Amino acid sequence: MSWGFQNRLNKILPNKRAVMLAIDHGYFLGPIRGLEKPEETVRDLLPYTDSLYLTRGTLAACIPKNTEKPMVLRVSGGPTTLGKDLANETIVTSIKEAIRHNVVGVGVSVFIGSDYETQTVTNLAQVVTDAHDYGIPVLGITAVGKELEKRDARFLALASRVLAEMGTDIVKTYYCDDFEQVTSKCPVPIVIAGGPKFDTIREALEITYNAMEQGAAGVDMGRNIWQSQHPLAMIQAIHSIVHKRFTVNEAVDLYESSSKVKA
């Protein structure tokens, strides 16, 4: 790959580890709690994230033009939670548009096992071809829509490998039991999604730590950070595990020190 591709990939994965902050949820959920005003949500969190994952509308309307933080742009979408099937995605943002927005990467959701499996795999394959023409890395997402029961090692290993086979440069997937069965069979770096908010702070930190110990390259989290009662403390704790190799107890201590509350 070109110097430009490697440079962009290194911005997403500095030292081969990443804390990505996902704020793209409005494309199918609308003004979800915590993202009513994205610019306010991310303001204090930016120093502790390596890149933002977002839509072109949020980037254009809500992110200050002098922001130096790298941006990864969601380019697939279409259905919302009000529609019949979240899996029925198409490509809604072109690579030309992504380049115009000066992003370091683009992301595409793929719904393996759904009625729209072939359509969304094809979406990814075409974006990989187009993006790589311009040296832009691609994040492939093993989306499950509302079917959360699909989050087991067998399914996620299959889905992650399919995305890698299509040429994606980073896979975003969910943490699960036997997670090393997913990471060990995927030839590209994996970052984990947070998904719906966990019940406790410790649970979110334990999943982050366990994922890193079992081969993940980092996280691409959203709700478990900006829907936390103390988002800044939460992202600091996540960052400490990913980049400073803190234990769960050390990260909990950091959270409590920063938030001034018991986790």
Residues in contact with 99: Cβ distance below 8 Å, sequence separation at least 6, in sequence order? 134, 136
Residues whose CB falls within 8 Å of the CB of residue 201, separated by 6 or more in sequence, listed in order: 228, 234, 237, 252, 255, 263
The DSSP 8-state label assigned to residue 68 in this structure reads -
Type of residue numbered 46: L
Place of tokens 């440079």: 7
- Take residue 24 and report the two structure tokens written for it: 């793209």
Do residues 210 and 182 lie in contact, with contact meaning Cβ atoms separated by under 8 Å? Answer: no
* Known catalytic residue at 84: no
Residue 172: φ, ψ to 5°: -105, 125
Q: Which of 11, 96, 146, 172 is catalytic?
A: 172
What is the residue-wise DSSP string for 131-169?
HHHTT--EEEEE--TT-GGG-SHHHHHHHHHHHHHTT-S
**Are 239 and 48 a contacting pair, CB within 8 Å?**
yes
Written as six digits, the tokens of 168 are 């994606």
Q: In degrees rounded to 5, what are phi and psi of residue 110?
A: -130, 130
Catalytic residues: 172
